[in-house]
Chain A
Amino acid sequence: MHSTGYCQAVEKAGGIEVPRRARYIRTIVLELERIQSHLLWLGIAAHIIGFDTVLMQAWRIREPVMWLCEKITGNRKLYGINVVGGVRRDIPKAMHPELMEVLGRIERETKAVLDAVVTDTTLLARLANVGILPNKDASAYSLLGPTARGSGVAIDIRVDHPYAAYGEVETNVMVETSEDIWARTVVRIKETLDSIRIIRDCLAMMPGGPLQAKITEPIPPGRIGQSSVEAPRGETHHYVITGEDNRPYRWKARAPTFQNLQGVPIMVLGETIADVPIALGSIDPCFSCTERLETVDVRSGEVKVYTKADLFRLCKERWSKR
């Protein structure tokens, strides 16, 4: 997903046209990633509220997707399928029946889990009307992905600024309006099912042709390329300035967690300790993606932002004392 964002940014900067088949393959891999990410989240969210049965079942359902990804790309995660100008591996016709079979199975099982959880009153007691994120705050703080869509903000890069094959394949924006953790859960489960349909459509419509664009000229330096990708957690933005020798001069990636974290204080305001972990979990946080550590001295109000060098120094001091 990040590799797609980076490649698209470079392709925009260099004016490279990606072949249609490659864009379809990118879409399929992106959607497979969304499926496994949402199922992973479902398991972790259930674990946070102590529902380990859902954790185990969600991850059991997820496993065939991982095997499938390994079969297509060679890796369970971090697929390494993208190159600037296209993709590295094909999804041959011979693989379609197996793909369809696995998709059918996870669709059936995900629906079964959905049926089981919507009737679970204890689960609803923990998720419904908890961690409320009002619609106006979700827009005001520019929250992204399922976190925003659960509060009724209909944003989805796949539809708003189509990339890969999303302009050609029907893509639905899943919006829920109840603004609570349950809404974010339902959005993710519905998206999982929609992703399965998108992959099926992609396979049916998959055009022939090359996998990579022929790049003969070096990409000129000083060009700017930007690209957004709808990651499972929300919009991921990549910004590239090209440099000498086909290398990037500057590259900045913004993952959605930093944005979505801003919504958590609103969600947990006035809630109990028991609701804090699941409210935080409901944005599907990726703390390594947030890039900065900030401390606030409550007495003086002084704010200090730690840089990478600061953190490195602190780590060294801490461990050399022992």
Chain B
Amino acid sequence: MDYGLGQTIGLSVLQVALVLLLSPLLEGVIRKLIAFVHSRIGPPLFQPYLDILKLLGKEEIASSRSFLFRYSAVIALTAVLTASLLVPMLGRPPLGFAGEVIVFVYLISVVAVMIFMSGVSSGSPYGLVGAGREVMMVLTVEPVLAIALITAAVKSGSMMFGDMVSWQLTHPPSISMVIVGVALFLAIVAQVARLPFDIVEADQEIMAGPFVEQSGPKLALFKWGFYAKQLIFASLLVSVFIPWPHVGKLAVDALITLAKVVVLLVLVGVVHAVNPRLRIDQSIQFFGLLIFASAAGLAFALVGS
């Protein structure tokens, strides 16, 4: 599939702007939902925007002069936004090329690496513990993500998200896609640092871990990156694994996708609200089992069901 250069750039700018502007609102929706489960009124829907604005206007206090400490937030947000260009949010990804799935997984790993670096370079023992936890999480969560996407690739016979979506649209749901879809959902809960997998930050244990020394604009970028990640992962799951109904009109499809994303994030919020935090070893055990489960899904895909 080839688009003109102008169309590609236009769609890219539109999608990045959409991710940046919309993701704090979805965070606000999740916060409202959690507040509802807590029997609280909760913060205003637009509070995440205000949080980001406030942090952007604050003075930077750095505990370390290390390059990685200073730029990890920027690199992480850039990686998230670049990854967003590969996700078919508005019907098709702005940057579509063969093998984009692999690039997507790598870009998401960059975020994890930056969180790790931020923790290691912060010079705080809490940061170090958090960085260690981040590595353990990544090593167990990313295989689930990768296997889920490989399964979709095997089913559709293509390494492109756009092909996966069109394949899903023309085929009925299959066992393998359901299994890896559920596994991917749980991996997403971990990826966006929601309970019960909010282990890397764990405020009550290690005081936000890798982010303990981050402040001001850098913290704002990290937070924004997390909000964006939430939106990207949710729209990836709904567009690749639950693409129906598909109308064919860009605006209508975008609205339908948005509705599905909201529903999915509400689910994430519910999981967050009804669970305490797991310990890192329990989480590793859980995702170890999940890797096996999603591998079983992949095996189903390979034998064709």
Contacts and interface: CB of A to CB of B under 8 A. Distances in A.
Contact of B276 (A122, A272, A273): A122
Nearest to B129: A273
Interface in A173-199: none
A60 B39 contact: yes
Count chain A CB atoms within 10 A of each CB in B34, B129, B204 and give the residue with the most.
B204
Contact of B278 (A56, A60, A122): A122
Contacts of B54: none
Contacts of A48: 204
B100 interface: no
A53 B38 CA distance: 5
A207 interface: no
B280 A56 contact: no
B204 A47 contact: yes
A46 B280 contact: no
B259 interface: no
Contact of A56 (B40, B196, B205, B282): B40
A275 interface: yes
A47 B205 CA distance: 11
B85 to A, nearest CB: 34
A54 B274 CA distance: 9
Contact of A50 (B129, B276, B281, B282): B276
Contact of A277 (B204, B275, B282): B204
Interface residues of A, number: 24
A125 interface: yes
Contacts of B58: none
B195 interface: yes
Interface residues of B, number: 25
A312 interface: no
Contacts of B39: 56-57, 60
B274 A53 contact: yes
Nearest to A47: B204
Contacts of A55: 38
Contacts, number: 65
B37 interface: yes
A277 B205 contact: yes
B206 interface: yes
Interface in A50-80: 50-57, 60
Given A122-B276, A272-B281, A273-B205, A50 B38 contact: no
A95 interface: no
A123 B281 CA distance: 15
Contacts of B273: 52-53
B277 A52 contact: no
A49 interface: yes
Contacts of A50: 195-196, 198, 202-204, 276-277
Interface in B254-294: 273-282
A126 B281 contact: no
Contacts of B195: 50-51
Interface of B: 34, 37-40, 129, 195-196, 198-199, 202-206, 273-282
Closest 6 A/B residue pairs (Cβ): A50-B277, A51-B276, A56-B38, A49-B276, A274-B279, A48-B204
21 contacts: A50-B203, A50-B204, A51-B195, A51-B277, A53-B37, A53-B38, A55-B38, A56-B40, A57-B39, A122-B276, A125-B282, A126-B279, A126-B282, A273-B206, A274-B199, A274-B205, A274-B277, A274-B280, A276-B205, A277-B204, A277-B205
